[in-house]
Amino acid sequence: MASSSKGLGKRLAGFWKKHPVWSLVLAAGVLLVALGGVRSLRGPEVPVLEVKRGPLVHRVVMSGRVSPPAEWVVASQLPGTVARVLVDEGARVQPGQVLVELDAAPQEADVARARAALAQARARLGGLKEVGVPQREEAVRRAEAELARAEREAQRARTLAEAGVMTRVQLEEAVTALDVARSRLVSARAEAAGSGQGGSEQRQAEAALAQAEAELRAAEARRAQATLTATTPAVVLTREVEPGDSVQPGAKLLTLARLGGTQLTVEPDERNLAYLREGQKAVASAEAFPRERFSAEVETVAPSVNPDRGTVEVKLAVPQPPEYLRPGMTVSVDVEVGRREDVRVVPLDAVHEASSESPWVLVLRDGRAERVGVKTGLRGEDRVEVLEGLSEGDRVLPTSAKVKPGQRVRPAEEG
């Protein structure tokens, strides 16, 4: 045995002397194999993530569109022909500004007829007061005088008839004349009462006057409807008519959107519903102007979820909308829904089953991956707050390392 070992040694020594280069290559290979074996026993090399303390902000990023709080259609209330359109699409208008004018000739004619009817009603009432009442009062006085004369004639006829000077026929004629005089007085007094203050004839004349006044106001209102004006600060979205077009009542002429108080409408996934609250501050930007950012605030969160898309509608108020913002623009909204100033945080990539009720991490301890259950809190874009299970300085393994619990591992920084 000893002699064979010595022989092998001599042969190796001879090979080394004859082939020094190949001997070095062989020695290096043996060394690498030995090192590989040692490393395999220590486990794969993986990156590690450290549990640290620091601030954490939870943001919900959503996309949506600009929606004006009020949008309405300017429509004609009259049939007619468009005379002028004084605004174009995109124009900003103020209250009282004329938008569209219709040909008002038919309405002007109605106003003229109503004014003539009013003048006639006023003249009738004025004539009744100035002429009719005095005439009827004079008629009453004449009837009273005729009745007094008829009473005297009737009394004289009775006296003469008793003396035998006047016939019975003459007496009956005098009595009849007295009855006629009394009837005329009753009629005159009735006519005077009717034409006087509070009488039926005067009431009829006053009613006719009131009706004429109402008809004039209605005619003037119809004439005013031929001129369409803005009622609030707005921007013109669409223009549907041109001068010369014939329109019917209800025909859409313009579409306007109220200025000020612009809203953003977004529909985040329903899983974000628990984080969104009215009054939360947000920062938004329009897709057309990505470098320009403006402030917004959560105004309403819909009480129900869209079952088809699994989203919830959220509206945000924009107190000071920038000039470039237009209805329908696509916007990106970043809402800050939570903030912690000094908490233990770990990269989200280190948490397994992060959305479940029992999240866990792999902690590097004594060269092995140890499974540890954790309780998480506020979640940011790439980090999550650790409430229980980890301490500051603990080293955890990312989920991308594909390491199993209990497996030996080597942290990458140790080489």
Q: Are residues 231 and 99 in the same domain?
A: yes
Q: Are residues 211 and 359 in the same domain?
A: no
Instruction: For tokens 């009753």, name the residue.
Output: 186
Q: Are residues 95 and 187 in the same domain?
A: no
**Residue 40 has what pLDDT?**
47
| Structural domains in the chain (count) | 4
Q: What is the CATH number of the domain that holds 84?
A: 2.40.50.100
Query: What's the 3-state SS for 151-172?
Result: HHHHHHHHHHHHHCCCCHHHHH
DSSP H or E segment with residue 361: strand 360-365
For residue 36, tell me if it sits in a domain.
Answer: no
Closest-CA residue to 255 (of 273, 276, 240): 240
Q: Are residues 318 and 264 in the same domain?
A: yes
**Residue 332 has what pLDDT?**
93
Burial of 24 (0-12, 13-18, 19+ CB in 10 A): exposed
CA distance 3 to 9: 10
Q: Are residues 231 and 370 in the same domain?
A: no
pLDDT in tens, the chain (415 residues): 545 555 555 555 555 566 565 556 565 554 554 444 444 455 788 888 889 898 888 888 889 999 876 778 999 888 999 999 999 998 989 999 999 999 988 888 988 998 898 888 877 767 666 545 566 666 667 767 777 887 777 787 777 777 777 777 776 777 787 777 777 777 766 666 655 555 566 667 777 878 888 888 888 888 888 999 998 888 898 999 999 999 999 889 999 988 766 889 999 988 888 888 899 999 999 998 988 999 999 999 998 898 888 999 999 998 888 888 888 899 999 988 888 888 898 888 889 988 788 899 999 888 888 999 999 888 877 888 899 888 898 999 898 888 889 899 988 854 3
For residue 157, tell me if it sits in a domain.
Answer: yes
Q: Are residues 112 and 219 in the same domain?
A: yes
**Residue 32 has what pLDDT?**
52
Q: Are residues 382 and 403 in the same domain?
A: yes
- Residue 83: helix, strand or coil by DSSP? strand
Indicate the pTM of the whole model. Answer: 0.46
Closest-CA residue to 42 (of 358, 402, 412, 387): 412
For residue 386, tell me if it sits in a domain.
Answer: yes
Q: Which domain holds residue 86?
A: 71-103+226-258
Residue where a domain stops, chosen among 336, 361, 385: 336
Q: Are residues 201 and 122 in the same domain?
A: yes
**Residue 38 has what pLDDT?**
44
CA angle, residues 277, 278, 281, in degrees to nearest 5: 90
Sign, Cα dihedral of 392, 397, 398, 404: negative
Residue where a domain stops, chosen among 308, 336, 364: 336
- Residue 185: helix, strand or coil by DSSP? helix
Instruction: List CB contacts of 80: < 8 A, sequence separation 6 or more.
Output: 102, 103, 104, 106, 226, 246, 247
DSSP H or E segment with residue 407: none
Q: Are residues 135 and 243 in the same domain?
A: no
Q: Are residues 218 and 132 in the same domain?
A: yes
CA distance 379 to 390: 16
For residue 193, tell me if it sits in a domain.
Answer: yes
For residue 368, tell me if it sits in a domain.
Answer: yes
Residue where a domain stops, chosen among 287, 302, 336: 336
For residue 35, tell me if it sits in a domain.
Answer: no
**Residue 282 has what pLDDT?**
92
Q: Are residues 180 and 196 in the same domain?
A: yes
What is residue 132's DSSP assignment? I
For residue 80, tell me if it sits in a domain.
Answer: yes
For residue 20, tell me if it sits in a domain.
Answer: no
Closest-CA residue to 322 (of 301, 276, 300, 291): 291
**Residue 95 has what pLDDT?**
92
Q: Are residues 191 and 174 in the same domain?
A: yes
Q: What is the CATH number of the domain that holds 305?
A: 2.40.30.170
